[in-house]
Structure 1
Amino acid sequence: MGIGIGFGVAGFPFSSVGAYHAWIDLLEEQGADSVWFSERLVSHTPTLEPMAAIGMALGRTKRLKAGMNAVIVPFRDPLVLAKECATLDFLSGGRLLPVFGAGDERAPEWRATGRDPRGRGEQADEALELMARLWSEERVTFEGKHYRYVDAAISPRPVQQPLPLWIGGSSEAAIRRTARIGTGWLAGLQTPAQVAPIVRAIREKAAEYGRAIDEDHYGAGFSYRFGSPDDPPVQRQLAGLARLPGVVDPAGLVAVGSADDIARRVEEFIAAGISKFVVRPIASDDADLMAQTTRMLEEVVPRFATARPAAAGPRA
C-alpha cells in the first residue's frame, strides 16, 4: 500500500499572495506529495476557488500534484468542469487529483443562489457519469433528467487514463456513488473510528456492483501542530470546529504534540483503511505555517516513505 501525504489549508491563512506562493514553492522543493484546495464558493472568509488555485499551483511547479477537497458538482456545469479537469491534467502532465461531492444541504451556496438542494445527489450522479465519459470517449450522447447531450466531445483529453474520479461524503448515497462510479474516496472532518466503517461499507457495496476500488485509494485529512493543545492557534482551531454542525469532539479532529504524536494519528488512519492524507498545519502566521509544514515534511512524512516504491510517487 502506497502512503501519500499531501498538504492543505483552511481558507487563505497567508498575509499576502507572495507568502502563499512561498508555501507552494516549499511543498515543491521539499518533496510533498500534493497540495489540496477546499471548495467554498460563498464565504466572508477569504477562500480560493479550487480550480483556479490548482491551475496556479500546477503551473508554478514541476512535480507537485494538486487536488480539490471536494468540488461540489451541482454548482457547476459538467461539460465545463470536465473540460477544466482535462485541461489541467493535460497541461500538468497528469498531476491532477480530482475529488467531487454532491454537497451538504446546509451549505450556504444553496440559499445564496436560490437553489433547491433536493435532488442534488441524482444530479451529481448524472454529471459524474457524463464527465467520466467525456474524459475517455470520442463522442458522448446522454439522455437524463438533468442533462441531455448529443455527440459531445472534448479535446485534449486528460493524460491520466482513466482520470481519477474520487468521491467525497459519508452518506449512504455517497457510499453508493463511490462504489458505483468512483475510483477512490476522501473523508471529510472525521476521526479514524468514524472513517473505518465507511471504508468497509464502500468495499462491500463495490463488490455488489462487481467492482473493486484499489486499497490505496482511500483518503482522509486532519489538522496538526507541533506544540501544545494550549497554543492559541490550536484553541482557535478547536473553537471553530466546535461551531460546525455535527462535530461532537473537536479535539479528535486534530493531532497536536510531538512528531510521534502526529505519526500515531497517521497510523490510526492507516489501520482504518486510509493511505492518502491531506494534512493542514495549524499556525499563527506565515513563518509559523512554513515552520509547521517543514517539520511535517522532515519529521513525519519520511517515516511512511518506505511504504511506497522509491521510483514513483503514489497514484491517486
Structure 2
Amino acid sequence: MKFGISYGTPHQGVDPDKLVGFARLAEECGFESLYMPEHVVLYPGAKVGAFELPPTLPYVDPLDALAFVAAATERILLGTGVLLVPYHHPVILAKRLATVDVLSKGRMRLLTVGVGALPGEAEAGGVEFRTRGRRADEAIDVLRLLWEGGEEGVGFAGEFFSFEALCSYPKPAGRLPIHVGGSSRAAARRAGLRGDGYFAGGALGPEERAAQWELARETAAAAGRDPDALEYTRFGSIGMSGERVAELAGQGVTRLVVSSSATDPGEQREELSAFAERCGFLP
C-alpha cells in the first residue's frame, strides 16, 4: 500500500509558507505523494451532489501549486485529485505537464484527471457539459500522442481537437502516467480503456465501489490491456486504523489518499506522524 495526502486549499488556505511547510512535513513523515484539487471557477449555488460549494473557496491552480511545491521538496510525488481535463486544451496541457515533470526530476507521477460535475464551470470554459466525457477521452489520447511523438511530428483528427505534424518538447522524464478519477461507471470504464489507474471518489456504497473497480478491470481486459497493471486509489480517513487499511488492501486498493483536518502546523505534525506510524511507513 502507498499513501498520499491531499492539500485541501479550501480550508487550509493559500499561504505559500503553509503550503511548503505542509509538503515538507508530508515528505518528512514518509508520505509517497501530495495531491492538489482543481476548480477553475465557482459560482453561487454550485453543488457537487447535495453539497453546495461556497463560491469564495480559494482553489489554486493545481499545476502551478505543484511546481511551487516541487521546488521546495526533494522526494514527494506530485498528484492532482482531480485535474478537470475537459477544461484544458490538451496541446497546451501537454507542455505544462511535461515542464512540471522535467523540472521536478520526474515527480509528476500521479496526474489524475476527471470530467467535472458543475455545469456552470463547463459553460464558463466554453465546453458543453454533455460532451465533457468524450472531450476528456480525446484529451487523454492527445496528451499521450504528443508526449510519445518524435521530431517528424504527430497528427490527430477528432471531434474536438485536430492538428497535423506537431512536435511537443520537452518530453516528460519517462512515461507520464494518467490516472482517471470519478464516481461513475463511465469513469471506471474510462480508467479501464485509457488509464493507468482508477481513483474512485464520491460517497459510494461498498457494493457500487466494488462494481466500479471490477468494471474498470473487465474493461481493461476486454481492450487487451493488463487489468493487474491498473492501480486502485481511494480516499481514506487520516484517523483510520491499521486494520482498516489492511482491509482495503484486501479489496485491491493500492494507494490511500488522506487529508489533514488540522490547520495548525503543530497539530498537522501530530496527525500525520500518528497516521504514518499506525500504517508502518514513518521513516
Contact 1:196 1:273 in 2 (8 A): no
Contact 1:98 1:166 in 2 (8 A): yes
Identity of aligned residues (%): 30
Equivalent runs, 1:124-273 vs 2, <5 Å: 124-138=136-150, 139-161=153-175, 163-190=176-203, 193=206, 194-215=208-229, 217-225=231-239, 255=240, 262-273=241-252
> Aligned residue pairs: how many?
265
Structure 1's 166 and 12: CA in aligned 2 closer, same or farther, altered over 3 A? Answer: same
Residues 188-225 of structure 1 show CA distances to partners (whole Å, capped at 9, x for unaligned) of 13467242221111111111111114456111112333
1:169, 1:73 → 2: CA distance? 12
Residues 261-291 of structure 1 show CA distances to partners (whole Å, capped at 9, x for unaligned) of x223322321221111111122253432232
The equivalent of 1:95 in structure 2 is 107
Contact 1:178 1:185 in 2 (8 A): yes
* Farther off after superposition, 294-303 or 22-31: 294-303
Matched, 1:48 2:60: yes
Residues 73-132 of structure 1 show CA distances to partners (whole Å, capped at 9, x for unaligned) of 11111011111111111122211121111222x354135456420111111111110101
1:82, 1:67 → 2: CA distance? 15
The equivalent of 1:294 in structure 2 is 273
Contact 1:192 1:272 in 2 (8 A): no
2:204, 2:280 → 1: CA distance? 20
SS in 2 for 1:118: helix
Query: Cα distance, 1:148 vs. partner?
Result: 0.7
Query: Cα distance, 1:25 vs. partner?
Result: 1.3
2:203, 2:246 → 1: CA distance? 15
1:179 corresponds to which letter in structure 2? G
The equivalent of 1:281 in structure 2 is 260
Gaps of 5+ in 1: 226-254, 256-261, 306-316
Q: TM-score, normalised by structure 1?
A: 0.77
The equivalent of 1:230 in structure 2 is none
1:108, 1:294 → 2: CA distance? 40
Matched, 1:8 2:21: no
2:169, 2:127 → 1: CA distance? 31
SS in 2 for 1:135: helix
2:74 corresponds to which letter in structure 1? K
What is the CA RMSD across the aligned residues, in angstroms?
A: 2.2
2:218 corresponds to which letter in structure 1? E
Q: Which runs of structure 1 show a deviation greater than 6 angstroms over 4 or more consecutive aligned residues?
A: none
Matched, 1:31 2:27: no
Q: TM-score, normalised by structure 2?
A: 0.86
1:101, 1:23 → 2: CA distance? 25
